Amino acid sequence: MKKQFPAFIAVLAIGFFFLNFTAQNESITLAADGSKFEIPDNVKQIIDNSCFGCHNIESKNDKAKKKLLFDELGELKTHKLVGKLADISDVVGEGEMPPKKAIERFPSIKLSDEDRNILKEWAAKTAEELTSK
């Protein structure tokens, strides 16, 4: 049993290191050409709650899928990603997203003013950071 204890401690330490490393990097994403951009947890939560239902590859909303797919942002080249982020900032800032018809059907997706500002500012800041690289 004494010989197994150091091995157990080593495995445990490696496990903690791995979990810590992945937890710190879970919101970093790479664009198709290798540019890094970050989706912080608070922004990801807003996207998951209010946007992803229509803007994902599995959605039945073809119009929303044609405009934007959040699950494919990392596959875009930087210049296209910057354009999509600018679009997100604009339509969210203008109150066009989520659309009123969707909110009528699913009131829980309505963005609060705070969430709207967080999403808008994240998209604008990330687009600006990607263009300055």
Query: 27: pLDDT confidence band, cut at 50, 70 and 90?
Result: low
pTM for this entry: 0.76
Average of per-residue pLDDT across 37-56 = 96
* φ, ψ for residue 28, nearest 5 deg: -90, 130
Distance of CA 31 to the CA centre of its chain: 12
Distance CA 40, CA 28 (A): 8
Is the pLDDT at 4 greater than 90, yes or no?
no
Tell which residue, 64, 26, 63, 47, has the closest CA to residue 120. 47
